[in-house]
Structure 1
């Protein structure tokens, strides 16, 4: 460190001011690398948390840019930086329950957001926008918006209002690309494709799907995309799409009973499937229970595929083949876009799609010999 800190300025602000001084004096030039968080902390005799916050604020103020895996560098035109740094990030939602947030989709996403926040000295909180759709009274907060579920009453016109207020927002899970709002989503189409392709690779050619919705025309955004992935995988194997193999079951909260109902419908067909893709683990557990009641062996007589990778799926019997949505990464990316990539008034559409991962376990196996693909 070049000089001693003589006043009561917070240490993170002292680091910021000193780096700005070096930029203005020409000691640091555009695209020069900065020390790592650890080395910066050593240089200023402070903690790594302090150096993280200093670097984060310099990024948000436009003095520094980051390249993943390479480090932090001085911006080309830092003199024009005017953005005020984000001090807090809120996951804003409408009417989600604490019980629902225990689902790994949400809990892993929260952990991902919090990981980035802790690394950069940022507070992270949940915020229910309530029936009046009200955001925190902090115009400089970063907002990760979880806007829509099957039972909420979110008013999309509020998005335009918040844009006019220059709120720094990114949406997750659902998205509104026509408004130019940055978003991060899980690639549900790829997830549905991976689940179906896995069953196809095992020789199954008659594959049923249990999906949440009152009808095939009343399926929400995420399940609709999983259905598209299912159809895409079938088409690539020249297997005709059969609407009879779609079991739509009504419900809001995913429940095992929905899987039981869907299984019964599919097994009642004149030519029942040899494998079932249940579009949530809870429905898959219900399908397995119903198969057991009928004396059917899983996976020897019927393969059952889930989606979500809830914790118990690794310990059930049989263990459940499923799709992990990688929502920890979704949370990380949402926070990173807010903190490091979004510029006030920039008008650019930032987006990211997180690719899910297939988890192969014991509930899926080769198609029964008499029904397997003769090829």
Structure 2
């Protein structure tokens, strides 16, 4: 498992964002701050985390908290009083840079929400935002005062050469990578925590009583796949371990393909349901594969979720309209885009910055309680 470096906690990001809003006059003395429940919803975190953020602001003397009334900005607090508030970097514009050959992939919700998040954060601070498609020569936009949010994925499923990334870093380009990370290069990054996403999907099925859970992944083999699917597999394994369910390699179906497709999901379901001891639930690691699996289940005369529960990953638009509607993982990439832009705009030591966005479980109709337990697969 990847060992994460030291990074800011979510409560610290909440504190910084609230300080920014105070400094910009968006939070007034005569109006209460959002409650800890509201903050938890706004930042997609727990009430424990939001409560700590408010407590830290109170400890700094910035707000006062009154039981039954709420939290208020202290009258004596001035906008310039925040020593911990980082000043906005002088950027003339921000670019989202991607491989020009795979533009069609950016219609996916992951990227539409990502781009919307970047756009909203740039508009909030009056910074122009553009997208830039690179050709095979990897030409970057020019300028010393521009910020670059880079998605280093190529049309063949590979990633940009490390030497090229290292060169851009040495040239002083102001980079943030999204969806992929390179800790040894000390390039700041923001990713969705695929490990947690895989865990949430699997734990949901386990909580419904399923123990024999298949997983459909994209890659060349169980040990040769890209970062996102490898981490989802690790989350799957951890959930099984915590529920004392044995990991069974027979239930891991890995299919090769450049792009996610319903055909992959159909093939994965047919393989898994052809096992002598077939699974009662399947975690398809993309919505496209999950939708294909649901259709294939119907062709085999299986009811979802009565005969097999299926969960996807991505929460694409059509997932809520399938029959049955698809239980899935929303990657929360609107926040991913906002955080990437914030790092470029506000972090003084951005080369040390890294952030992981927590995905969210969306429960719909394609998962249900297991009809039969499988105690022989417990340890």
Same fold (TM over 0.5): yes
Mapped partners of 1:105, 1:179: distance in 2: 25
TM-score, normalization by structure 1: 0.77
- The answer to whether the 8 A contact 1:193-1:229 is kept is yes
Specify whether residues 271 and 118 from structure 1 end up closer, same or farther in structure 2 by C-alpha distance, changes over 3 A only: same
Mapped partners of 2:224, 2:192: distance in 1: 20
Mapped partners of 2:319, 2:83: distance in 1: 50
> What is the aligned partner in structure 2 of residue 90 from structure 1?
95
> What is the aligned partner in structure 2 of residue 250 from structure 1?
256
- The answer to whether the 8 A contact 1:133-1:155 is kept is no
1:73 aligns with 2:62: no
Specify whether residues 202 and 348 from structure 1 end up closer, same or farther in structure 2 by C-alpha distance, changes over 3 A only: same
Of 240, 246, 255, the residue aligned with 1:240 is 246
Mapped partners of 1:207, 1:76: distance in 2: 51
> What is the aligned partner in structure 2 of residue 60 from structure 1?
none
Of 351, 356, 367, the residue aligned with 1:353 is 356
> What is the aligned partner in structure 1 of residue 225 from structure 2?
219
Computed over aligned residues only, the root mean square deviation of the Cα atoms, in angstroms, reads 2.7
How far did 1:255 drift?
0.3
Specify whether residues 193 and 96 from structure 1 end up closer, same or farther in structure 2 by C-alpha distance, changes over 3 A only: farther
* CA deviation vs aligned residue, 1:4-25 (integer Å, no higher than 9, x gap): xxxxxxxxxxxxxxxxxxxxxx
How far did 1:76 drift?
5.6
Mapped partners of 2:101, 2:357: distance in 1: 22
> What is the aligned partner in structure 1 of residue 116 from structure 2?
111
Mapped partners of 1:221, 1:302: distance in 2: 28
> What is the aligned partner in structure 1 of residue 176 from structure 2?
170
State the structure with more CA Rg: 1
Unpaired runs of 5+ in structure 1?
A: 1-30, 40-66
Mapped partners of 2:79, 2:134: distance in 1: 35
How far did 1:75 drift?
6.9
Mapped partners of 2:113, 2:292: distance in 1: 24
Unpaired runs of 5+ in structure 2?
A: 1-19, 29-61, 63-71
Mapped partners of 1:348, 1:370: distance in 2: 49
1:284 aligns with 2:273: no
1:307 aligns with 2:296: no
TM-score, normalization by structure 2: 0.76
Mapped partners of 2:243, 2:27: distance in 1: 52
How far did 1:369 drift?
3.5
How far did 1:256 drift?
0.1
> What is the aligned partner in structure 2 of residue 18 from structure 1?
none
Specify whether residues 77 and 263 from structure 1 end up closer, same or farther in structure 2 by C-alpha distance, changes over 3 A only: closer
> What is the aligned partner in structure 1 of residue 47 from structure 2?
none
User: Could you say what secondary structure the match of 1:73 adopts?
Assistant: helix
* CA deviation vs aligned residue, 1:228-283 (integer Å, no higher than 9, x gap): 00000000011111000001111111000000100111011110000000000000
Specify whether residues 347 and 297 from structure 1 end up closer, same or farther in structure 2 by C-alpha distance, changes over 3 A only: closer
Of 140, 148, 164, the residue aligned with 1:135 is 140
- The answer to whether the 8 A contact 1:205-1:373 is kept is no
How far did 1:84 drift?
6.5
